[in-house]
Amino acid sequence: MSDRIKYLHITGLIISQAVLWLLLSGHYTPLLLGLGSISIILVTIISLRMNLIVYHQPEIGLQILNFIPYGFWLLVEILKSNIDVCKRILNPSLPINPSLITIKASQRSELATVAFANSITLTPGTIAIDVNGNMIEVHSLADVGIEGLETDEMNKRVKQAEIE
């Protein structure tokens, strides 16, 4: 690995720490800017000595632009599930039938499978309990959650965002 790449990573670390510190602190007096700079330098030195800086980044395996429409679709699904869960809480006559199922994820990368499992968990009434390879164990509050997963729509949409 070239020294240029190492310096780029270190520079990126320093810049990201500085931006984060400035955004979170909201104070721009000379004393606090100086103390912030010292703390950023110390954190960078400690990170270098502990070999915490990763120079080889793993391939993401997802097309971020394809996740934008998926994000909007997921928000709509979260809203619909929220309404369903609220109805079940407020109306005791609606059935609550907890069940546990295992579904197969069709994604190739681990990151996409985790995104699929997290999407299941974000949707109220369902939670991904375990991810084992491409099998995801899901707990559902009602049959509606299971039916939604059996349509395989969410699985297909995450799969579309993967890099071919």
Residue-level pLDDT at 101 = 93
Query: If you count DSSP H runs as helices and E runs as strands, how many of each does the chain have, helices first?
Result: 6, 3
Higher pLDDT, 94 or 137: 137
One-letter amino acid of 34: G
Bridge partners (DSSP) of residue 128 are: 138
Q: Distance between CA 113 and CA 3 in Å, rounded?
A: 35
Residue-level pLDDT at 1 = 61
Residue 62 near residue 158 (C-beta atoms within 8 A): no
Q: Distance between CA 159 and CA 31 in Å, rounded?
A: 50
| Burial class of residue 89, CB neighbours in 10 A (0-12, 13-18, 19+) | exposed
Q: Distance between CA 45 and CA 23 in Å, rounded?
A: 22
Tell me the pLDDT band of 73, cut-offs 50, 70 and 90.
very high
Q: What does the mean pLDDT of the chain come to?
A: 88
20-69 pLDDT, tens per residue? 999 998 888 999 999 999 999 999 999 889 988 776 666 666 677 888 88
